[in-house]
Structure 1
Amino acid sequence: MVMEPGIRASDEDRERVVATLRREVGTGRLTLDEFSQRAEDAYRARTIGELEALTRDLPAVHRARTPSPFPSPVMIAVVLAVVLSVGALILAGFMSAPDMGHMMGSMGH
């Protein structure tokens, strides 16, 4: 999910863009002067849109990705599976609780 350009950028967002720019110097797509200017602009950027503009002319595979504020569907499925499993174990424990109570009561006699 792409974040809105007007969303405020975090320090992590800025660092991710600078890392992307640094990689592009290594590929020859950016000169050191271009890198220096864009890195300065990245550290001054206030919004995601300002950061995206700094990598717009670079290949999409190398662009910094802004993390989604929402969990991934896989993460939701894993959490749901764990919750349901724990719930089933608890329910199974409650269903056998009277038997356990009866056993514990007879142990004291």
Structure 2
Amino acid sequence: MARLQDQVAEGRLTLDEFSERAAAAYRARTMGELADLTRDLPTSPETAPATKRWLMSVPLLAVAVVSLLALALLVGGLSAAHAMGPMVDCMGR
């Protein structure tokens, strides 16, 4: 389905053609039947399969999560330090 959607986005399939092929894809029972639906469509080398695209995004996602956690800790720490006010030692000075 993703490949058919990409082909519509690239202008290689009309919405009617997409609808027909999508219906056939849902009726398909074998991989061969699915392959027949896209056999006449070009494949571009820069278009990676969905699995490869997902795998390439994993490191980026990990960096984003770590960055957001570090930012949350920094903001939380600064907020806590500001809320405590000036530090007073044990002698009340």
TM-score using structure 1 length: 0.40
TM-score using structure 2 length: 0.47
